[in-house]
């Protein structure tokens, strides 16, 4: 069974290496590309100011974040949710860069850094499928007819839910999954009824009796050494 975690983050700015921090993490669980309904969503106190540019994107203010737990207090829940799932992220280097920087701040308790090779990045997937076109999340939603009316601001959980729909479309649409998933009962295999093979149609010779008699006489005149005797039996219809 394939378990994947579609993940998105919001941050104080765009430069993890220059001190910007995670402030929101949202994730959606997929089994065999089907959402199970299990999600992860946490806000974090970044212990630094949110930049004006980032606030204009997600609307998360310093005052709103001031009473939220710091990353070290929620990382255990995050790692438990991620578990053995394969990460699916749009523009993975950005989110993975922030997650790894937060991990590194944990010191001796830091989990292993996330390797980009282990992440499904939907941005290059979209670029390969739609070369030369806009491939940000909004553009992909417009292309695939995915409803974004709830999305007045960027939010990590909502964006992860939307990305899960985009990911399925990038894989080829809903028909890519050959199984239906019940989150409680496990996978249910969908079978397609196969028609019984048709009975072979009996051979019907188009030769008249007179023509068959002349043909048989001709074959007999060639003798048993004729090369076609290796391929056509004496009683086979011509």
- Is 238 in a helix, a strand, or coil? coil
Average pLDDT estimate for 171-187: 51
- Provide the β-strand partners of residue 29: 5
Residue 87 lies in a domain: yes
Q: Give the residue ranges of DSSP H helices in 48-129.
A: 52-58, 62-65, 71-82, 92-104, 122-129
Question: What is this structure's pTM?
Answer: 0.73
Q: Which residue has the higher pLDDT, 68 or 192?
A: 68
CB neighbour burial string for 98-123, b if at least 16 within 10 angstroms, e if fewer = bbbbbbeeeeeeeeeebeeeebbbbb
Q: Give the residue ranges of DSSP H helices in 153-201.
A: 156-170
Catalytic positions: 154
Question: Could you report the per-residue pLDDT of 116-132, keeping only the tens digit for each?
Answer: 999 999 999 999 999 99
Q: According to the model, what pLDDT value does residue 139 have?
A: 94
Whole-number Å distance between alpha carbons of 159 and 193 = 38
Residue 210 lies in a domain: no
Whole-number Å distance between alpha carbons of 53 and 59 = 10
Residue 69 maps to which CATH number?
3.30.420.10
Residue 212 lies in a domain: no
Q: According to the model, what pLDDT value does residue 186 have?
A: 40
Residue 81 lies in a domain: yes
Binding site for a divalent metal cation: residue ranges? 8, 10, 159
Whole-number Å distance between alpha carbons of 238 and 235 = 9
Confidence of residue 95 (pLDDT cuts 50, 70, 90): very high
Q: According to the model, what pLDDT value does residue 115 have?
A: 98
Q: What are phi and psi of 183, to 5 degrees?
A: -60, -25
Binding site: residue ranges? 8, 10, 58, 159
Domain that holds residue 17: 3-189
Residue 234 lies in a domain: no
Average pLDDT estimate for 194-220: 55
DSSP 195: P
Q: What are phi and psi of 177, to 5 degrees?
A: -90, 125
Residue 156 lies in a domain: yes
Average pLDDT estimate for 27-42: 97
- For residue 238, pLDDT beyond 80: no
Domain count, the chain: 1
- Nearest CA to 37 out of 169, 157, 172, 177 is that of 157
Q: According to the model, what pLDDT value does residue 184 have?
A: 38
How many CB atoms within 10 Å of residue 236? 8
Are the C-beta atoms of residues 121 and 92 closer than 8 Å to each other? yes
Residue 194 lies in a domain: no
Residue 82 lies in a domain: yes
- For residue 72, pLDDT beyond 50: yes
- For residue 42, pLDDT beyond 90: yes
């Amino acid at each position: 069974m394939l378990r994947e975690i579609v993940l998105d983050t919001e941050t104080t700015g765009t430069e993890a290496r220059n001190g910007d921090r995670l402030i929101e993490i949202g994730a959606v669980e997929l089994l065999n590309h089907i959402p199970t309904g299990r999600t992860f969503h946490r806000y974090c106190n970044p212990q630094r100011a949110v930049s004006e540019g980032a606030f204009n994107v997600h609307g998360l203010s310093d005052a709103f974040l001031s009473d939220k737990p710091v990353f070290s207090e929620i990382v255990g829940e995050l790692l438990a949710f991620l578990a053995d799932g394969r990460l699916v992220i749009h523009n993975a280097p950005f989110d993975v860069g922030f997650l790894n920087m937060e991990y590194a701040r944990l010191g001796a308790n830091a989990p292993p850094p996330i390797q980009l090779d282990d992440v499904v990045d939907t941005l290059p997937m979209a670029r390969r499928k739609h070369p030369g076109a806009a491939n940000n999340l909004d553009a992909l939603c417009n292309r695939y007819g995915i409803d974004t009316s709830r999305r007045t601001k960027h939010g990590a959980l909502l964006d992860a839910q939307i990305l899960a729909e985009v990911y399925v479309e990038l894989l080829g649409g809903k028909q890519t999954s050959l199984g239906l998933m019940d989150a409680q009962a496990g996978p249910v295999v969908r079978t397609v009824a196969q028609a019984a093979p048709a009975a072979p149609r009996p051979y019907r010779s188009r030769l008249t009796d007179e023509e068959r008699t002349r043909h048989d006489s001709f074959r007999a005149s060639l003798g048993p050494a004729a090369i076609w005797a290796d391929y056509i039996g004496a009683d086979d219809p011509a």
